[in-house]
Structure 1
Amino acid sequence: MTTARRSTALFVVLLLALAGCSTGLETRPDNTTQTDEVRVGALMYARDLEFWQLVEAGMRQAAAEAGVPLHVDVSDRKLQNESQVLDTMYARGDNVLLVAPYDGEASAAALRRARARGQTIVQYDERVRDASFGYFVGVDQKALGEAVGRVAQSYLDSMFGGHAKVALLTGETESHGPPRREAFLAQATGAEVVTTAEAVGSPEKGAEAFATVLQSHPETQLVFAWNGAALQGAATAAARMHSPVKIVGVDMSRRLADLLARPDSPVLAVADQDAYQVGYQTLRTGVALARSQPVPPTSSVDPVIYRNGDRQALDTFYSELDNR
């Protein structure tokens, strides 16, 4: 055989050998059916907020109904921890993963690794920016803004003839901030925006932003707060300042529920993500996929509106919180 023919034959053999090799990273579906006992691992940012506590409560209720074991771990809002926890879940034998990705870009690599291992994956609250992952449970952030925007417009109609001066406490640097603000304004069509102020981080930032807005624009008649921390801080500042200005916003907490129960509450209404249902439906979706049952790619949880004085809705919130 000539040297050229031997080289060609060797090349073909190498190609055939490579074709039969696995890199361990081939694309697998995230709805992989599990033939072993279903074991669920859930990853969340932390347990410090009532949102995550209610998510966990919903998951535990669904796990009890489905008869599956559930382990819940936290990343403490650190990307390195997230990757390590996902590895721990695999080593522990969790074959269904319920994941709230910490970062839309950076978290994708760890999820792709988990999928290559054959784990069933459902994302909730946030998604990675990788369209090959198909299953998600959560509340549309625009729907939250729209819901509270409709309440605000109703208030403007009844109190100010449909138009009023509105200030926005925003979170433009956060992923949920812009869609909530835009959707709010799309529904609150009578809002004349007099100013905006960033309120990201803690309730103290919300309180500072509210005080600054009222000092620089005393003509303000309504304030929108983009998330729970900003809303709680604004409400605290409004009570301290004895301000007549009403506040609407997104994300519920026990503190805000207590305020909404008061007749003199500065908080008019809160749109919430119904965290309990997010957790409950996320676990049910993961178990159904693992058992090869049909599931829609996206399960949307409707937002809940809590209004000042709505005792029935507030009692439901307190009940879910106390039973977590």
Structure 2
Amino acid sequence: MKKMIVTLAASIMAIAMASAGEAQERIKVGGIIYARDSQYWQQAERGMNDAAKKLGVDLQIGLNRRQLATEGQLIEDFATRGVNIIVMPPLDTQASGAAAQRVKSRNIMIVDYDTRFADSTISSHTIGVDSRELAGVVGKEMRKLIVASKSESAAAVGLITLPPTNPNMQARRGGVVSALEGANVAYVAEVAAATPEQGANAFENILQRNPATAMIWASNSGSLSGAAAAARRSNAKAKLYGIDMSQELAQMLLDPSSNLQAVSDQQPYLIGYTAVETAVKSFRGEKLARQINVPARLYTREDPKAVTEYLDFVKSLSN
């Protein structure tokens, strides 16, 4: 009996030691998002959490609140807490690199998503949607309508681009222009905007230059929602296309009276999920591509089922 008790005690101790070892070896990931004030970052966070749960890793989420100083402090705090990996969207392609480089020198893996560091040696992997492709997807939808019209007159098109300082400005503009190349198009105006208020002003500016404008493309969710609101107030006929889906834009796609026709989306849930998944698999030794592109997703008023499914998913984020 005494021997049995000793054996049982030794077995319990061995199991406890093994469990402690497993706990020590559990991968710790520090994930950064901008804030929880937009559906984009809410979806990205959900994706990160779902990936961490599936892969059995510990995930801590921090908010940089769109401040470089806060971002730098978050990176340092994660390092102090002993994370193995930091998954982050650099606020500034240049300035964000210093803090990330410091913790990388302490053998912490860095993976960037949404935006990338100017110095590509800082991160092990980059996850995101190609901005040119993102704009091109909705640009092709515009082109289909222009070609189908078989009009001898050029379609008057206005562009609401991102401000020139935004790193995605040129890529997105280039994507939509490339998609429309060869179509019977006349560009009537190009106005920079990023917020709903700026988008509304840009829409009105374009129509003042040419009241017969047939189509207006906007390069982000904020400017697109502002343009759509302005279109409703003015009873303008210009059809709207743009980038980055939101609950508000989805509801507009389902509204027969709205001017909104199509929106290309970055799939932020999938970006967040893929960022954590890639980081953890790479940390565990799996060989993965340096650059991992998430495909853009197109939502149109012709496919209300997909739009409704998107709305159901967004509503689930609050549960």
**Same-fold status (TM-score > 0.5):** yes
TM-score band, normalised by shorter chain: 0.7 to 0.9
Counterpart of 2:98? Answer: 109
Q: Deviations over 1:235-263 (max 9, x none)?
A: 00001111111011111110000000112
Question: Are 1:42 and 2:36 counterparts?
Answer: no
Contact 1:273–1:301 (CA<8 Å) still a contact in 2? Answer: yes
Count residues with an aligned counterpart.
Answer: 289
Shift of 1:160: 5.1
Question: Are 1:164 and 2:158 counterparts?
Answer: no
Counterpart of 1:21? Answer: none
2 CA distance for matches of 1:253 and 1:160?
Answer: 32
Contact 2:31–2:59 (CA<8 Å) still a contact in 1? Answer: yes
Q: Deviations over 1:12-58 (max 9, x none)?
A: xxxxxxxxxxxxxxxxxxxxxxx932011101222211111100011
Q: Deviations over 1:75-102 (max 9, x none)?
A: 1111111110001111122211101000
Q: Secondary structure of 1:282's match? A: helix
Counterpart of 1:17? Answer: none
Q: Secondary structure of 1:302's match? A: coil
Question: Are 1:192 and 2:183 counterparts?
Answer: no
Counterpart of 1:82? Answer: 71
Q: Which consecutive residues of structure 2, in runs of 5 or more, have no partner in the other structure? A: 1-23
Contact 2:157–2:186 (CA<8 Å) still a contact in 1? Answer: yes
Question: Are 1:137 and 2:137 counterparts?
Answer: no
1 CA distance for matches of 2:186 and 2:295?
Answer: 28
Residue identity (%) = 33
Counterpart of 1:179? Answer: 171
Contact 1:43–1:75 (CA<8 Å) still a contact in 2? Answer: yes
Q: Map of 1:231-270 to 2, 5 A cutoff? A: 231-270=224-263
Residue 147 of structure 2 aligns to which amino acid in structure 1? D
Q: Secondary structure of 2:258's match? A: coil
Shift of 1:216: 2.3
1 CA distance for matches of 2:238 and 2:248?
Answer: 19
Contact 1:104–1:127 (CA<8 Å) still a contact in 2? Answer: yes
Residue 234 of structure 2 aligns to which amino acid in structure 1? M
Question: Are 1:93 and 2:82 counterparts?
Answer: yes
Q: Which consecutive residues of structure 1, in runs of 5 or more, have no partner in the other structure? A: 1-34
* Cα root mean square deviation, aligned: 1.4
Contact 1:249–1:270 (CA<8 Å) still a contact in 2? Answer: yes
**Which of 245, 260, 276 is the matching residue for 1:283?**
276
Contact 1:272–1:303 (CA<8 Å) still a contact in 2? Answer: yes
Q: Deviations over 1:220-240 (max 9, x none)?
A: 110010111110000000011
1 CA distance for matches of 2:232 and 2:149?
Answer: 21
Counterpart of 1:271? Answer: 264
TM-score w.r.t. length of structure 2:
0.87
1 CA distance for matches of 2:120 and 2:72?
Answer: 20
Q: Which runs of 4+ in 1 moved over 2 A?
A: 159-163
